[in-house]
Amino acid sequence: MLTLGLRLDKPVKHALWLIWIRKVKNAPKIGIIGQMLPLTPMNTTAKHSEILLGMTMTGINPEIRNRIRLSVAAYAYEFKDDQIMSDAEFDALALKIKPEEKTGNRKLDNFFKKHFQPDTGMWIRVHPELGKLDYIYTTYFKDKK
C-alpha cells in the first residue's frame, strides 16, 4: 500500500483524483495514481491528512493513464485546434484502449463503453468531464511548445 499526504483545508466527503506529471524527453506524461476514495470523519478535520490508496508501488493502471492521455489529446485537437501528439501516436494509443475494462470510475467506464471509437476523436465532444480535460490541457500543454 502507498500512503500519500493530502492537505485538507475544510472537511470533504471524497478525495479528488490525484494527478501525477512527470517529464520524459521534454514531453509531459499524465497518469492517475488514485481514485475517488471515501474519507473517514477522523481524517476530514485535520489540516494535513493522509489517505491510504489501494495500490502498490509497481505503478498505476495503464488503462486509466491511456484514457486520460488520449482524452486530453482529442480535447486539444477538437476544441483548441492544437495537436499535442502526432496522428500516428494518437492512433496507436487509441488502439490500446479497452472500453470494456473497468477502472473504478463508473461514469467514465460507461462513457468509454458507449461512445469511444478508436478511429476518430469526435467522441470527445460528449465526454462527461470536459472541464477537467480543459484544466489539464490549460495547465500542462497550452503554450508549452
Segments making up each domain of the chain, as ranges: 2-140
Q: What percent of the chain has pLDDT over 70?
A: 59
Separation CA 21–CA 30 (nearest Å): 5
Instruction: Specify the pLDDT at position 109.
Output: 97
pLDDT at 25: 42
Q: Which helix (H) or strand (E) is 52 found in, with range? A: strand 48-53
pTM of the model: 0.61
Which pLDDT tens digit goes with each residue over 45-92?
A: 333 333 433 333 357 799 999 999 999 999 999 999 999 999 999 999
Judge contact between 5 and 50, C-beta under 8 A: yes
β-pair partners for 49: 6
pLDDT at 136: 96
CA distance 77 to 22: 22
| Closest among 104, 127, 130 to 114, alpha carbons compared | 127
Q: Is the CB of residue 80 less than 8 Å from the CB of residue 121? A: no
Residue 134's pLDDT is what?
97
Task: Decide: 100 and 58 in contact? Cβ < 8 Å.
Answer: no
User: What percent of the chain is predicted at pLDDT more than 90?
Assistant: 56
Strand blocks (E) in the chain: 2-7, 19-24, 27-32, 48-53
- Confidence at residue 143, expressed as pLDDT on a 0 to 100 scale: 83
